[in-house]
Amino acid sequence: MLKVLINLFIFFSLTFMITTISQFIFVPEVIYLGSTNDKFKKNTLEQIKKRGFLLVATKLDGVGCYYKRGQLRGIECELLQEYANYLDVELNIIFFPDLHSLFTALENKSVDIIASDLTPNNERKKKFLFSNALFHTEEWLIQRKDNAISNLKQLNGKTISIRKGTTYRDVILALQQEMNINIKVELLPETLSTLEIIKGVANGFWSYTLADQHIVQNQHAQYPKLSPPLIIGQPREISLALFKDDKELLLHLNSWLANKKIKAILNKKKQSITPWDNVFKKNASPPFDWLWLTSQAFAESSFDPNAISSSGAKGLMQLMPETAKDMGVTQIFDPKENIKGGAKYNKWLYKTYWNYLPEKEALAFTFASYNAGVGHVMDAQRLALRNGDDPNIWFDNVENHIIKLEKKSIYTLQYIKYGYCRGSETKDYVRKIFSQKEIYSNNKNTNY
């Protein structure tokens, strides 16, 4: 009995000793798996993969990210769709009305990335991480034709209206110091988009504004009342913004951006105007280089291959069915055939009626004929001749007479052969093509 008691005592003593020792030897360093210690949290990249979606905040402002016919468009969001595909996750787009809301969401870790045409200036770099540059842009001064200036010194004493919270204010301050001029700055609500402000300038609400080059070239930023912009400021980066501690995600994203395939995608998007650039180039011939054709397509349809006008014109180049037939177009909504038909019609008009004129005038008269018909253009020439203007110069001469063909007192004159014409539309149409061509030609950051 005593031996049994001794054995039990030894057993319990050893058990106690082993248990006590095990508390120091075998217990893990972190006992509670639910610890809030950041060291043991999954980083954002791992969280994205685990949850199955990438959260991107944007303003859906019609440029870097927007929806068109239910499809995500814009260089930044198309790029992030590629990145989400690479991660094998979904892309979730979250809309915010202004920059303040975007940055607040990122600070609160409600989103993973901001895509909103952001420039990583010093103030922003203190609070957030930024990806390597997606591309470079520069500021352009937006102005109307009725108050256009020819050089930046003429901004002295004038007011530039910009959205609150943008980097445009820094550009204006730098310009003032560089040129020793005084520019008044009007800060507009953050909820306004750059495209809305550009439209406001065109409609006379504001005199001048600044906008990034790639925004100005966007199809949504084109208005007949706007004068060609002036370049202001130096080229700067456009990047994606990330949470200040998401260094792993930043490293992964930058590594992905450095991939040759992704660089090729970025370069293609930067250097292209439309998805059909190669088609325009293929169908270009003197004096209609591909930028003239592209500018004309923009004036015709805003690059909508399915566009149909009230008069029945169709496709990118807005061909009338009878014209399409004459030009050998069988599939009028096929961009390749439509562009080929429009280019062929241009060349026919040029060779048949206008190739005796200097190139600039020949182009202008050809485009006017494409829009209004040769007969109405010749009627406008007759009016110009009888009113002492040069019938072989379009701008500020014949264009001022074609608009008179909207008046019954004019189009019923005995020597007017083709009657009524929507001449103001034709005048604006030709000017829009020439203005757009100048914008494309002045684009320094592309290889057009």
315: region left, alpha or beta (phi > 0 left; psi from -120 to 50 alpha): left
pLDDT at 332 over 50: yes
Across the range 232-260, mean pLDDT stands at 90
Q: Is omega for the bond preceding 235 within 30 degrees of 0, making it cis?
A: no
Answer yes or no: are the C-beta atoms of 398 and 361 closer than 8 Å. no
Residue 330 domain boundaries:
279-438
Indicate the residue among 211, 236, 261 that finishes a domain.
Answer: 236
| Reported pTM | 0.54
Query: Does the residue 142 lie in any domain?
Result: yes
Query: Does the residue 65 lie in any domain?
Result: no
Identify whether residues 355 and 415 lie together within a single domain. Answer: yes
Identify whether residues 285 and 431 lie together within a single domain. Answer: yes
Across the range 334-338, mean pLDDT stands at 94
Indicate the residue among 236, 270, 298 that finishes a domain.
Answer: 236
Residue type, position 48, single letter: I
Query: Does the residue 47 lie in any domain?
Result: no
Identify whether residues 284 and 386 lie together within a single domain. Answer: yes
Which of these ranges, 34-43, 117-126, 349-358, 434-443, has the smallest mean pLDDT? 34-43
Query: Does the residue 253 lie in any domain?
Result: no
Higher pLDDT, 193 or 406: 406
Reported confidence tier of residue 18, pLDDT bands at 50, 70, 90: very low
- Kindly report the CATH number assigned to the domain that includes residue 386: 1.10.530.10
Identify whether residues 176 and 285 lie together within a single domain. Answer: no
Three-class DSSP category at 414: coil
pLDDT at 37 over 50: no
Query: Does the residue 40 lie in any domain?
Result: no
pLDDT at 20 over 70: no
**144, β-bridge pairs:** 226
Query: Does the residue 122 lie in any domain?
Result: no
Query: What's the domain count of the chain?
Result: 2
Instruction: List pLDDT tens digits, range 83-138.
Output: 999 999 999 999 898 889 999 999 999 999 999 889 898 899 999 999 999 888 88
Identify whether residues 181 and 285 lie together within a single domain. Answer: no
pLDDT at 366 over 70: yes
Average pLDDT, the chain: 85
**Percent helix, percent strand, percent coil in the chain, to nearest 5:** 50, 15, 35
Cα distance from N-terminal residue to C-terminal residue, the chain: 103
- Kindly report the CATH number assigned to the domain that includes residue 165: 3.40.190.10
Query: Does the residue 3 lie in any domain?
Result: no
